[in-house]
A = this chain, B = another copy of it.
Amino acid sequence: MAKRIFGVDLGGTTVKLGLFDEQGELLDKWEIPTRKEDSGSHILPDIADSVKAKMEEAGIEKNDVVGVGIGVPGPVDGKGVIHKAANLGWGVFSIREELAVLLGGIPVEAGNDANVAALGEMWKGGGRGCENMVAVTLGTGVGGGIIVDGKVLSGSNGAGGEIGHIHIVDEEEDACGCGNHGCLEQYASATGVTRLARKRLEKDDKASSLRDGELSAKDVWDAVKAGDELAVEVAEQFGDYLGKGLAAVAAVANPERFVIGGGVSKAGDILFKYIVEPYKKYVFHGSRDAEFVLATLGNDAGIYGAARLVLG
């Protein structure tokens, strides 16, 4: 029978699972809840049970499974060891080994979820054909996944690609979630964009559609598209900070392409109008021609990337 791969994307409330063939075609996908009680001790057994149930349902023999890949919300080193995931109640242990035992010896690979999603975008999404790329997730925070020569850069303890915490603004008085002040995430995440907008609104009385009602990142980008001058100022500030941050990333990793995803990226191509010019201004000339594209896999990037992990 043809070979199969399972890709698992472990989130704080839901585990997404995907069944793939070796060419990366998604044959089936489903979800199970993430049971965080008892220090997260049910999570891996639940995943193993779900994989085994699917194998039985689809008539897949153990020998036909190339492996199971999993992305988890926490730092995972190159050997598949998680270094604490507080939101799951997990300490330090080898996901690779524990899950493999639960699966009766099927090979397992594990990685950080943002890094794994980057791998998914490289394999089947906006980064297709790129061996050196950076996936940037502009969501609640700013996440990054650095792909070097086709492999995820995990770093010495799994904190590679934490590009949301590059220091950008010296004068920042508010603290980032990480405890530092002036991190990229404070300006380029969804909450960062609304924060920039709120600060701009407070600065003076300039007219803006953003003065009415709630204020979300989507509101800001909708106003930009409608030509709202104040919103455009916010977009320029956002773009200057993000362009500066990505230029620093490029000075280190020299990617061929940036793949932009996450909630803020739903604004679409208009983002690039504000990011690319500052990027080119701040970046070293050797990286000036990097491409900027939108991510294409959405919430499935994680299961694609997890499956890709297995292929090494």
Contacts and interface: CB of A to CB of B under 8 A. Distances in A.
B158 A254 contact: yes
Contacts of A290: 156
Interface of A: 75, 78, 130-132, 144, 146, 148-149, 151, 153-163, 165-167, 178-180, 183, 244, 247-256, 281-287, 290
Contacts of A157: 254, 256, 286
Contacts of A286: 75, 155, 157-159, 162
Nearest to A287: B159
20 contacts: A132-B156, A146-B253, A148-B155, A149-B151, A149-B154, A153-B153, A153-B252, A155-B286, A156-B256, A157-B256, A158-B286, A159-B286, A160-B254, A161-B254, A165-B251, A165-B284, A166-B248, A167-B244, A252-B253, A253-B253
B180 A284 contact: yes
B256 A159 contact: no
A151 to B, nearest CB: 8
B159 A132 contact: no
A253 B180 contact: no
Nearest to A150: B78
Contacts of A132: 155-156
Nearest to A169: B170
A255 B289 CA distance: 27
A146 B254 CA distance: 11
B179 A285 contact: yes
Contacts of A247: 166-167
B161 A252 contact: yes
Nearest to A167: B282
A125 B282 CA distance: 33
A135 to B, nearest CB: 13
A63 to B, nearest CB: 30
